[in-house]
Amino acid sequence: NAGVTQTPKFQVLKTGQSMTLQCAQDMNHNSMYWYRQDPGMGLRLIYYSASEGTTDKGEVPNGYNVSRLNKREFSLRLESAAPSQTSVYFCASSGGISSYEQYFGPGTRLTVT
């Protein structure tokens, strides 16, 4: 049981390049989330998917797109990376109807130069 996995762990991009961050969970959870973590800002929600087939914007969605490929997988795409998107990205999932406790992946450290 791997929990929540993310790939890659580290990535360096040049301004304007695109990339997709992958996330998968094996806990049969309905909901999945993408956060970014910046110094002094805590965790900020980028996009989330309450259930397979739905996605919604979070607090900081600009510059990102997401795909809920199936129940297990939720990807985050940067179409044209900018230095302001340098951050650590965490994927999370939750499945409980009453608790919404979230389980986090190990994070992806992205640097945009």
Partner 1 sequence: ILNVEQSPQSLHVQEGDSTNFTCSFPSSNFYALHWYRWETAKSPEALFVMTLNGDEKKKGRISATLNTKEGYSYLYIKGSQPEDSATYLCALHTGTASKLTFGTGTRLQVTL
Q: Which residues bind partner 1 (CB under 8 A)?
A: 30-31, 33, 35, 40-45, 48, 50, 56, 58-59, 90, 94, 98-107
In the complex, the smallest distance separating the C-beta of residue 13 from partner 1, rounded to whole angstroms, is 22
Which is nearer to partner 1, 24 or 81 (by Cβ)? 24
| Under 8 Å between Cβ of 3 and 27 | yes
CA–CA distance, 15 with 35 (Å, rounded to integer): 21
Which is nearer to partner 1, 40 or 53 (by Cβ)? 40
Cis bond before residue 61 (omega within 30° of 0): no
Which is nearer to partner 1, 35 or 64 (by Cβ)? 35
Secondary structure E strands in 1-113: 4-7, 10-13, 19-25, 31-38, 42-49, 56-57, 64-68, 74-78, 87-94, 103-104, 108-112
In the complex, the smallest distance separating the C-beta of residue 82 from partner 1, rounded to whole angstroms, is 22
In the complex, the smallest distance separating the C-beta of residue 42 from partner 1, rounded to whole angstroms, is 4
In the complex, the smallest distance separating the C-beta of residue 18 from partner 1, rounded to whole angstroms, is 26
Tell me which DSSP letter residue 97 carries: T
Which is nearer to partner 1, 85 or 94 (by Cβ)? 94
> Mapping DSSP to helix (H, G, I), strand (E, B) and coil, where does residue 93 land?
strand
